[in-house]
Amino acid sequence: MITPAAPDLADSLFPSAREEAPRANQPTAVPQTEHPAYRLAFQDDDFLLREELRPVRFQLELLKPELLLAEAGITSTFVFYGSARIPSPEQADGVLAAARTPREKLVAERLVAKSGYYTVARELARLSSCADRGQGEPCLTVCSGGGPSMMEAANRGAWDEGAPSLGLNIVLPHEQVPNAYVTPGLSFQFHYFALRKMHFLLRAKAVAVFPGGFGTFDEFFELLTLVQTGKVAPLPILLYGREFWTRVVNFEALAEEGVISPRDLELFRFVETAEEGWEMVKAWYSSGPLDD
């Protein structure tokens, strides 16, 4: 008579999906098992990608980063928004050399003039990151869109410090490879912009917004709307590049026209240097915890 092993009271009576899935992939070959209807639902890509399954895909895209970030102990982030087109100082000469027409040369010169913000973003990320969180220094985990330019600068600053950083990439018609400075285990890819933007802010303790285009505007103004309407608690919002932002957006006019309150202009602060921005963040949390 075989004596069963003593049960672990924490064990489930049922086999896990991980245990059963391999067996489900090796059925006896008969017409019924070879039909797609026989596949386990969670292993059936054709089923999961149906239009009717969009709510399930929303849930999965919210849940996967949520679980992995919780397991990694990431609770407080410093989010960086900004252009994917501003060159790093190392790329500046190449951008100028590639310009051919007078129009292209003018645009190239303006982009190169903004390359200093790459350096600022990199330094701000370095200042706010900690490789060893046991030293008692206040620090945050850098989070970017995972792409090039200002996003790369943010992840690179954390990398300079030997600290981990997040990259929240998005599937686009033209491939966007994660930049080399994102921590591999914290590099995520999204199909839905809405879920990606939610993850930007779920753990955000501060946000730095650098000059950028439609994507940066979208993220920045959605953040302002969420804070303005009380859907998100106030937090430090650093707007880098007063000259750029006041040229492309007349914030004062919005208040003068009555479509926003004058108090809404206090939701963000113009800054220029990494040190200035980091001091603002630390001052904001001077009466409470800042680090993870």
Q: What is the DSSP string of 203-266?
A: SEEEEEE-S--HHHHHHHHHHHHHHHTTSS----EEEE-HHHHHHH--HHHHHHTTSS-GGGGG
Question: Measured at the alpha carbon of residue 216, what is the angle toward residues 211 and 222, in degrees to the nearest 5?
Answer: 130
* CA-based end-to-end distance of the chain: 55
Q: What is the pLDDT along the chain (292 residues), one digit of tens a residue?
A: 566 666 666 777 888 888 888 888 887 889 988 898 989 899 999 999 999 999 999 999 999 999 999 999 999 999 999 999 999 999 989 989 999 999 999 999 999 999 999 999 999 999 999 877 555 667 899 999 999 999 999 999 999 999 999 999 999 888 778 999 999 999 999 999 999 999 999 999 999 999 999 999 999 999 999 999 999 999 999 999 999 999 999 999 999 999 999 999 999 999 999 999 999 999 999 866 665 4
CA–CA gap between residue 146 and residue 82 (Å, rounded): 11
CA–CA gap between residue 101 and residue 103 (Å, rounded): 5
Q: Which residue has the tokens 């397991």?
A: 71
Residue 209: other Cβ atoms inside 10 A = 25
CA–CA gap between residue 125 and residue 78 (Å, rounded): 8
Going by C-alpha positions, the residue among 261, 193, 250, 257 that lies closest to residue 228 is 261
The secondary element (H helix, E strand) that includes residue 270 is strand 269-271
Note the residue count of the chain.
Answer: 292
Those residues whose C-beta lies under 8 Å from the C-beta of residue 284, and which sit 6 or more positions away, are 206, 235, 236
Q: Which residue has the tokens 């370095």?
A: 126
Those residues whose C-beta lies under 8 Å from the C-beta of residue 160, and which sit 6 or more positions away, are 122, 125, 126
| Neighbouring-strand partners of residue 115 | none
Residue 39: other Cβ atoms inside 10 A = 16
List C-alpha distances in Å: 45 to 65, 98, 169.
20, 43, 22
- pLDDT at position 1, please? 57
Helix (H, G, I), strand (E, B) or coil at 10: coil
Tokens at 191, concatenated? 């199909």
- pLDDT at position 177, please? 87
Domains, the chain, with CATH or none:
75-88+116-284 (3.40.50.450)
- pLDDT at position 149, please? 96
- pLDDT at position 266, please? 96
- pLDDT at position 269, please? 97
CA–CA gap between residue 145 and residue 45 (Å, rounded): 27
Q: What is the DSSP string of 48-112?
A: HTSGGGHHHHHHHHHHHHHHHHHHTT---EEEEE--SSPPPGGGHHHHHHH--SHHHHHHHHHHH
- pLDDT at position 3, please? 63
- pLDDT at position 250, please? 97
